[in-house]
Amino acid sequence: VTASSTASFTMDHERAGRYTVRIVPEALNRPELDAVLDGRRSLVVVSPTVERLYAPALDALAARNGPRMRRIVCVSGEPAKGLAAVERICDAALAAGMDRHGVFVAVGGGVCSDLVTMAASLVRRGVRCVRIPTTLVAQIDAAIGAKGAVNFAGRKSSLGCFHPPALVLADPVLLRTLPLPEIRAGLAEIIKIALVSDAPLFELLERVVPELLATRFQEPADDATTVMAASIRRMLEALDGNLFEDRSYRRTVDAGHTFSPKLEAAARFTIRHGEAVAVDLALSATLAARLGFLATGTSERIRRLIATAGLPITSDDLTAELCRDALAEAVRHRGGRLNLPLFDAVGHARFVDTSQVVDQVLELALEDLRLPLAEDQRVGVS
Amino acid sequence: VTASSTASFTMDHERAGRYTVRIVPEALNRPELDAVLDGRRSLVVVSPTVERLYAPALDALAARNGPRMRRIVCVSGEPAKGLAAVERICDAALAAGMDRHGVFVAVGGGVCSDLVTMAASLVRRGVRCVRIPTTLVAQIDAAIGAKGAVNFAGRKSSLGCFHPPALVLADPVLLRTLPLPEIRAGLAEIIKIALVSDAPLFELLERVVPELLATRFQEPADDATTVMAASIRRMLEALDGNLFEDRSYRRTVDAGHTFSPKLEAAARFTIRHGEAVAVDLALSATLAARLGFLATGTSERIRRLIATAGLPITSDDLTAELCRDALAEAVRHRGGRLNLPLFDAVGHARFVDTSQVVDQVLELALEDLRLPLAEDQRVGVS
């Protein structure tokens, strides 16, 4: 990853070539976008919400590009993220005469990004895809990596692809219309990336999260951009060298994603992904403290930031049994028991052997989650 | 490409890693196959013909691997090569508990290879795929590259992927049950690869094609292996460095595939792909001769070998208009008009500017195709 400014990052990958992620205003009206389109046949795929809220900007984009550009609205919502939705997009692309030089433009959240990435990987064995993510999670996480996926045969994201984008334009202005739970979900992933890799980001979040949440990342504008840029940079750094997940099972970005999948399943998806990640991070903090390598005060500080972001730090569904199941699953999926990502200080990841998480430690860590947090206490800063 | 013996070739690719293509007897009972399987969950996908003819060898493979291996029969025939068939394979793989370490084994012709390659690229964002091709075309062409595809929205191979195999085992013994038209289709691709890259292979074919055809590549066994090994080696060399077709539009392996797609479409697929390739190669020869860079005697020699292989050298559907359409399409799909692959001697490709193929040249070349071939004449060997 190289940063060409405070808000522009370029990923160089031996297999994937190069792509740029930029934080820009007016993402739908940018020379970088026009440079990729450049007279080629294109299909703009938007979520229903984007079509409703941003039709004028989309129409202006269409007017600039003429009949070579077409636009369709894709489905929204995780349950609709299936192969049928991908087929509809492919069908529209081929009906529009898309050839191997064609370009997809995905404007929407994670579902839109996943579906369009899948379609772009399949049409003519792979065409370019520009992503203009419109949710905070997509802007700092889901839409800046190489992955696309659909749910299949009742299994979440069980079919998918690695198909890196040609360009990602993250526009903070688009967040002003986002529902608050979506802002919170993004904050959960931002807190995660700060915990494993960026102490100054964590400290900035402690200061500005209430205002960022209240203003949906519009104010303070400089801090909002700093938070987004740091999150994007750290995420790209974490992906770099392992973009196709074929080099290492030690992925710091898996932090917060050990217990959360089981928690989501146990709650039958009534808990949001971001909320489950928040609970997972809180448990990871108390676990790290009970394992003896994270200061108790730091663990409390982490839980306090999560709570300040309006996110949960525990759940009735979070039982010891669920946690043991999740750890067993992690062993299977992360190439062995040595690859549990935790943190031994704010901003620093450590990989732990799951067999260290004995029943007594787990149960104490779960109890810690139920303790009330002191109101305004900052002790044991690591 | 490196050859570790006369019958084993390894492709090393910066993006794809490494894979080996080997010519072996008893492909279903090989230590190389067992080494990839190695206790992992696997799904063997076979064509209906393979299930019918080779059930004992498949059952022995299953017995060696126990309950971690499952087997299903896929559809056969180009019209059935669609996403629904891929979904069935993915469904069976997930139902069998395939994780990211799983292995697909495709045993069948080009359709089976295409479908399983697609499934293997999608399940868990890509798992390994061993190919055991059972047709001559698949053994020397379709199954040794990186591509998979399905027909979609009425368009041939309009969705697809690049997903290189983990291992390819080509077993000439499997060809003994192949229908003769399938042997001829393979010979068309072998003649193509000889024309663009291997004069000694062409000369060997001139000597042994009648017996290879009559014995379905069983006799002379040494010559059959030599022909297959040379074809595989030259094909891998042609793919090398451009396996994902992202580096160059100048692909020698596109020879024989300029006019043939339009011819197949015009004949509404009553002409086989291999036959259309044969006609394309014959026209390419007369065109090269009329353009003045291939000896007329060599052009005749090429047509004679094609005819000896029992393949057509012309077709009533091959009109000048069809050829002009095909050239226009080639300009669109091969990055401009400079990339028409022809040959200026047996064994040597040359890329020609399509604008050189003026109407008069094209019509003369088409007329040449209708001329009778002298019975046993070898003149103008290049």
- The amino acid sitting at A339 is N
CB A48 within 8 A of CB A73: yes
| Tens of pLDDT, residues A302-338 | 999 999 999 999 999 999 999 999 999 988 888 888 8
Q: What residues have CB less than 8 Å from A337, skipping those under 6 apart?
A: A331, A353, A354, A355
CB contact, 8 Å: B124 with chain A? yes
Tens-place pLDDT, residues A343-366: 999 999 999 999 999 999 999 999
pLDDT of amino acid B378: 45
pLDDT tops 50 at residue A183: yes
Question: What DSSP letter does each residue of A227-265 carry, written as one string?
Answer: HHHHHHHHHHHHHTT-TTS-S-S--GGGTT-SSHHHHHH
Do residue B161 and residue A161 have CB atoms under 8 angstroms apart? yes
Mean pLDDT along residues B97-123: 96
* C-alpha B5, offset from chain centre: 22
CB-nearest partner of B161 from A121, A147, A158: A121
Say whether the peptide bond before residue B56 is cis (omega within 30 degrees of 0).
Answer: no
What 3-state DSSP class applies to B56? helix
Q: What is the pLDDT averaged over residues B56-84?
A: 95
> What does the alpha-carbon distance between residue B292 and residue B296 come to, in Å, rounded to a whole number?
9
Contact A129, A163 (CB under 8 A): yes
Task: Report helix angle A273-290 to A180-197, nearest 10.
Answer: 30
CA distance, residue A197 to nearest chain B CA (Å): 26
Which whole number is the average pLDDT over A145-155? 94
Contact A101, A41 (CB under 8 A): yes
B247 interfaces chain A, CB cutoff of 8 Å: no
| Neighbour tally for B358: CB within 10 Å | 9
Query: Beta-carbon neighbour count of residue A80 at 10 Å?
Result: 14
Omega before residue A200 within 30° of 0, cis: no
pLDDT in the model for residue A246 = 80
Judged against a pLDDT cut of 90, whether residue B216 lies above it is answered with yes
pLDDT tens, residue by residue, A35-92? 999 999 999 999 999 999 999 999 999 999 999 999 999 999 888 999 999 999 999 9
Judge if ipTM > 0.95: no
Measuring CA to CA, which residue among B130, B134, B116 is closest to residue B49? B134
In this prediction, residue A232 carries a pLDDT of: 96
C-alpha span between A82 and A149 (Å, rounded): 8
Give the H or E element holding residue A59.
helix A48-65
Per DSSP, chain A holds a count of helices (H) and strands (E) of 13, 12
Residue A248 touches chain B, beta carbons under 8 Å: no
Q: Which of B122, B242, B243 to mutate to test the interface with A (most CBs of A within 10 A)?
A: B122
Q: Is the dihedral of CA B198, B204, B206, B209 positive or negative?
A: negative
Summarised one tens digit per residue, pLDDT across range B290-332 is 999 999 999 999 999 999 999 999 999 999 999 999 999 988 8
Instruction: Using the predicted structure, report yes or no on whether residue A251 has a pLDDT greater than 80.
Output: yes
Closest Cβ opposite residue A90 in set B122, B123, B159? B159
- Residue A376: pLDDT band with limits 50, 70, 90: low
Residue pair B126/B164 in contact (Cβ under 8 Å)? The answer is no
For residue B279, what are its two tokens?
A: 């006609």
Q: How do A348-352 and A167-170 pair as beta strands?
A: unpaired
Residue B35, Cβ neighbours under 10 Å: how many? 9
Percent of chain A with pLDDT over 90: 82
Element housing B65 (H / E): helix B48-65
pLDDT band at A18 (very low <50, low <70, confident <90, very high): confident
Predicted pLDDT at A379: 42
Q: What is the CA radius of gyration of chain B?
A: 21
- CA angle, residues A99, A105, A106, in degrees to nearest 5: 130
Least confident of A13-27, A119-133, B86-100: A13-27
pLDDT in tens, B8-37: 898 887 676 789 999 999 999 999 999 999
Q: What region does A155 belong to: left with phi over 0, alpha with psi -120 to 50, or beta?
A: beta
